[in-house]
Amino acid sequence: YRLILQDIITKVEEVSHCPLESSASRYECEAAALTATSGNVVGPLQEVDKKNMPSGCSMWQGDRTVYFNANTHGEKSDCFTSICQLNPSKMPVSFYHEHDVIIFVLNASDSSAPLSKTHLQGVVKVKEVSNCPSGLELDQEECIFAGLTDGGYLLRDVLQVQNRSDVPSGCFVRVDDNNLYFNTNPNPNVASLTQYASICQLSSEMPN
């Protein structure tokens, strides 16, 4: 079967911009920040054009003022939390369940989808592997986007980047809590681990 997701509005820390251009727009920014923080922000929205803070919609952690930064070359800052809005009307998303594997599909052919930074045709969760097949790995930005859209969580609003030999390489989730991780070790020394699921790109066409 196929499911269309509702909007996913979330906070992401330690990034220079929301993954795959998923920042809340200037018009949506203040409302998205209110949703992501359960109303714990200060208005009105401040519009700026600066390089020393994340691009797009964000919140200053000091007094929790909401900003929209029009500078597309913004930088990561420990003082700001990005406000991201994964909106199905802009980024068509669906799930397929096939052979007990959840497949997340990005309709990258839709001209209305702002997906210029990705060539993902879809993402698949795979259990009991130490790494994705060569060429089908996700980078950290793609990992955040795919993981959040697939119902994963960012522990303390941050992608947990590690370098370990006892967990899968690249993008993966813990099955018990669905927390999202990224292991920079390309050659982990692990057996098949049922408590983790790697998130990989698809290599074949999706079912109709």
- Whether the ω angle into residue 44 lies within 30 degrees of 0, i.e. cis, is yes
Consecutive H or E run containing 74: none
pLDDT in tens, 98-150: 444 444 444 444 433 333 333 445 667 777 788 888 888 889 988 888 888 77
Low-confidence ranges of the chain (pLDDT < 50): 1-5, 88-120, 204-208
The DSSP call for residue 79 is T
Whole-model pTM: value is: 0.72
Q: Specify whether the CB–CB gap between 95 and 105 falls below 8 A.
A: yes
pLDDT at 112: 38
In order, the DSSP letters of 80-93 are: EEEEEEE-TTTS-E
